Structures are given as structure tokens and as C-alpha cells.
Chains A and B, each alone.
Chain A
């Protein structure tokens, strides 16, 4: 009873923008000691967290309203059977869901594995649950700046119940760094 009440109140929060401060430990700039710290103060929608209609958050969504670097996180949760949240379509991919709910994940080639603009970082506990990327996806990922161990293309992440609670972080790519500091040379 209490749980479903909590869930229902969480549902009413789904349309609000929430900012979450980032986890520095996953950021390659931090790991390279190249973190510049301050945000540029740009408050476009793409820099805010948004929960999707199909999301039911558990109670502990405390979100410190810090102005420091904001990371995009898309919550793609599946509703449990005891409430009335609409579900994302079975087999829908993360890019389409993001677009449906106005998250600024670019998909220049429209999910045809011809670009890397939908590059996301997958929360580690869910990354293992994803099927191995096919060769073509790996080829495209190789071109994405700030590639990490948990990088995937959003258009290739097909949503299944076991991915409940997955967090997808959009890379902040103001500079063209690779994880190891490699700077792409002109070509």
C-alpha cells in the first residue's frame, strides 16, 4: 500500500526536471587529472536530467541542486505490474525512447550504425546485461570521442525487463579527447 503510494507520488514527479550532480569517478577528465571543474553555466535542456513517462522512481531520488558540472542521465525504468505507468514498447531502443521524451540524444544517422552521435555510457551493473556489440557497432564506437569501457551506442540498446533501472549518461564532449588522452590527428 505504502509502496504503491510512493510509486504513485513518484509518477507525478516524472514530468519534472531534476538535476543530478555527476559521479566524478567515471569521468575520463577526472581520471586524467584534466578536470577543469567549473561548469560553463549553460542551462539548455540537454544538460538537465529528465525522467521519462514510463519511469517509476523508487523513493530515494534526492537530487542536490548543484550548479557544478551536470551530467545527462536518462532513467529507463520499467514499471512494476501493480501500477498504471505506461511502458516503453517491448524491444524499443534507448535512442527512440530518448527522442520520445525529449532527451537531447542525437541520432544523426537514425539508428543505421553510420555515426556515433548517440554514444552513451551505461551504468556498470547493466552494461554486463547487454548483449555483445556487433562488429559494426564497435567500428562506430571507435570514432566516438571520450570512449570508455562502458560505452555503447544508444540506438543499439534494446530495452528489456532485465535492464530495469539502467542509467545512461550522455558524454560531455567539449573537447575531442580519447580516454587515454590521445588527440585525433587530422585526416
Chain B
């Protein structure tokens, strides 16, 4: 299917033209939770501020769309808040703009009074072990992107024909992956998981998932909600090693409430196990670090993983894992590394700390760079739930407003904002996607989903997304739904009858 790739220059209704506005103009790089929450606060705090959000994909919402698990639809309700922000008259969304490539940070800084970097963490930490690049080994970020329809992961095609899967890391992402691997397909098929992932999971032979961590039960990074979902998974039982829990019961009473409740639930699951007749099983394995991915006889794919056994030095959150020298091999055909996302530098003009993989900053003000701010994971590191990012984004917005009011940003200079950047992008042949156009893509996804009994069927192809909003402008009568056709016919009949009577 081909379409005319010539760039069409058109001003659509609803595009804000604030050429005569004299208020502060702020640019936000990244259309995920951090970007939208920062925008929300700026718009609320300053009635004269205009905020423009730039996003690399044609579709907004970042990890809310591509990271939150398909069976957690309530977590995605926050999209309604973000939609309100995007539809605000002083806010505009520009999708399909790759900042750093299509437009530089310096160009944005010239067009705006302030630029906020909220572009999150699109890379992942690697294990740094031999065999990590063998087929059968994936990062959790890519695996999650695959079942959530991230365009760059649509060709992942993980082989799910093995019995055992090993996940390295014990955070919420690791538990999401484990849960999706073991959840009944009847439950998944009513979610917005992609059709190709659903088909692959329906044919999956994976029956056992081990979730491996370097340290002990008291250092586990997941939260209780996700653990409870594992414990309650239908047709599955928990399978843990009693030795891993030695000394834990005694430590319970001194723990703060969240850690205590989490540990109690874990111990209960370890002790009770579950229904012996269950076909699937899952379990934590503690005090183990990956040292090598073992390849099969032909050397072509992963067939196991070698784990080093650790002991713990110290206690509590700061306990460290020390090697003991002992090793253990686990047979498995699917290895998923869930040890953390990682931000990457966006533009040479922006300082970047490669060790911590964040943009160095003081409370959201980028170091040594006036007028540049950051919020979300690129500011603090890739940890925390939406609520954490929300608070963090509010903090950055607060700091930015303070700087405006203290005169640290020169608001007396008029900045052209989106007008200048859109013009620049047009000359470079970049098709931006406005929010109203995302809404057409959204409607198409919901329509396709309805046909399949799902809330939506995500489009996986950027070209297809760009095509949808183009085609929508030329929607023909034949493509209308039956109801709409009927309405048109009745309308014509009414007009026809009316004018005949008046003849």
C-alpha cells in the first residue's frame, strides 16, 4: 500500500496561532507522564504561559501506552488527564518530531523562553555477560514493548516454545513480564495487548518462570500489588526455596509497613505454594547473579543461564551482594533481563552524566545551562510509578515558575515558539502530528479493537499511523458505518421531500 509521500503543508483549525502572545513560551521534549504533568502545572500556575509538547512518536503518552501492562487498564486512566491538558487552548502537541535529529535543542532554546527535557529512558542496562546477544535473550524493555505495540519492537518474535523462562531482576517490570507469560489467554484477549503477541502467547509452551535477584527477600524491588497478582494467578502455584528465607521472619517486626506487608505476603506464598495440580509455576530465586548465558550445542541460541551464588553483606536497603564462588546452572530457553531502563543523551548541547545515565541537574534545573530543565526519569533515573513522576514533574514546574518570577528567565523578549519550529520542520520535510490527528489514530485503534472484542488494537507501524489521519480527511460514503449511511440517507430524503413540497 503506497501513498503520496510528498509533504502537505496545511494549517488545520485548532492549531493555536499565538503570534501576538507575550506570555512565557515553554517547550517540553517528551509526551509521556513527565511531559504532560509538567505541562499541566505550568498551565495552571501561569495564565499567560503557552506550552508545546514535542514527541518522537506520532502517538503520545509514552510508557502509559507502551509500558503499563495490558491487564492494568485502570493505571492508564491517567490518559484522560493528559488529554485534557493537550486539549487546553494554551497547549499544543507535536508528534513525530525527533528532537536531536529533526530539530536541535539549541533551535528549541532560541524559539522558547524555557525548554524542559522529559524524554524518559529509552535504553536499557545490559547485564554485561557473555552470550547476552544470543537469540532467546531479551531486555524486558523490548519484551514489554513487543506486547504493548511499540513500533520498534514489533518484529521481536520471541520464541516461546521452551518450558522454563528466567527473568533477571525483581522489580515491577519483571513481575509484569512473568504475569503476562503465565496469565490465561482468556484474560489477555480482552485487553489491549497486541494481536500478534496474543497469538504468540496462546501458543506458548512456557510453564515455569523464575524471577532471579542478586540480593535477598528484604531487598526485593517490586511492590505488593504486583506480588499479589502473581500469587492470585489462576492455574499456577508459587515455588520458592525455603533456604532463601532463613532469618527473614525474625526481621519482620522492625520493618516499615510497606516492606513488612510485602515480605509477609512473600513468605506466605513461599510457605503455602498453591494448588499442586496447577499447570504453571513461578518463583523467586534470591542471592543469584547472572554470569553467562549458556548456548546450545550448535552455539546458536540460549539454552540455559549460569548464576553465581551470593551472600549478603550488611542489611536493609543498602545490603550488598558479595560473590561466594559457587555457581548454579539453570536450563531455560527464554531469558529476560529486567535490570533497569536507561536514559541516553539527546543532543550534544545537553550535559549528560553517563555513569548515572541522567541529565545532571539541581532540582530540575539542568547544570550550567540557563533556561533548560528536566523532569521525570531523565532527571532522577528510571525508577518509580506514575505518582512519583507526577510529584517530580510538579517540582520541576514549580522551580521553572520560580525562575520566571525571579527574573532568571528573560520574559521581556518575545519568543516565536511553535510557529518558528513548525516552519523549520516543514522545510526539513517532517510531518508533525497534532493532537486532533492523534485523536483520529485513536479512533481507528478503538474501532479495530471493537471488532476484536478489545479496548483497542494498536497500530504498530509509524507509516500506518501517519496514513490514518491523512485518509480520514478523505473518508468516503462507502467507508461509513451502516448507522451513518442511514443518517445520510434520511437526511437526503428529508431535504428532498421538503423541497418538493415547496415547489
Are the CB atoms of A178 and B383 closer together than 8 Å?
Answer: no
B72 at the interface (CB under 8 A from A): yes
Contact (A109, B261) CB under 8 Å given A178-B256, A185-B221, A186-B381:
no
Contact (A42, B401) CB under 8 Å given A140-B225, A186-B383, A187-B221:
yes
B194 at the interface (CB under 8 A from A): no
Q: How large is the interface on B (under 10, 10 to 19, 20 to 34, 35 or more residues)?
A: 35 or more
In the assembled complex, which residues on chain A have CB atoms less than 8 Å from the CB atom of B221?
A: 185-187
Q: Which residue of the partner chain B has the closest CB to A178?
A: B256
B395 at the interface (CB under 8 A from A): yes
Interface residues of A in 80-104 (CB under 8 A from B): 104
Interface residues of A in 20-40 (CB under 8 A from B): 40
Interface residues of B in 12-56 (CB under 8 A from A): 41, 44-45
Distance in angstroms between the alpha carbons of A145 and B390 in the assembled complex: 12
Binds A, one of B74-82, B286-294, B410-418, B452-460: B74-82
A6 at the interface (CB under 8 A from B): no
Interface size on A, residues (CB 8 A): 39
Interface residues of B in 380-407 (CB under 8 A from A): 381-388, 390-391, 395, 398, 401-402
B228 at the interface (CB under 8 A from A): yes
Contact (A109, B383) CB under 8 Å given A147-B257, A147-B258:
no
B217 at the interface (CB under 8 A from A): no
Contact (A180, B256) CB under 8 Å given A108-B77, A139-B223:
yes
Interface residues of A in 168-185 (CB under 8 A from B): 173-174, 176, 178-180, 182-185
In the assembled complex, which residues on chain A have CB atoms less than 8 Å from the CB atom of B390?
A: 106, 108, 117
Interface residues of A in 83-139 (CB under 8 A from B): 104, 106, 108-110, 112-117, 135-136, 138-139
Distance in angstroms between the alpha carbons of A180 and B257 in the assembled complex: 10
Residues of B that sit less than 8 Å from A by CB: 41, 44-45, 72, 74-75, 77-78, 80-81, 171-172, 219, 221-225, 228, 256-259, 261-262, 317, 340, 381-388, 390-391, 395, 398, 401-402
A-B pairs, 4 with minimum CB distance: A187-B221, A112-B74, A142-B258, A187-B171
Residues of A that sit less than 8 Å from B by CB: 40-42, 44-46, 104, 106, 108-110, 112-117, 135-136, 138-140, 142-145, 147, 173-174, 176, 178-180, 182-187
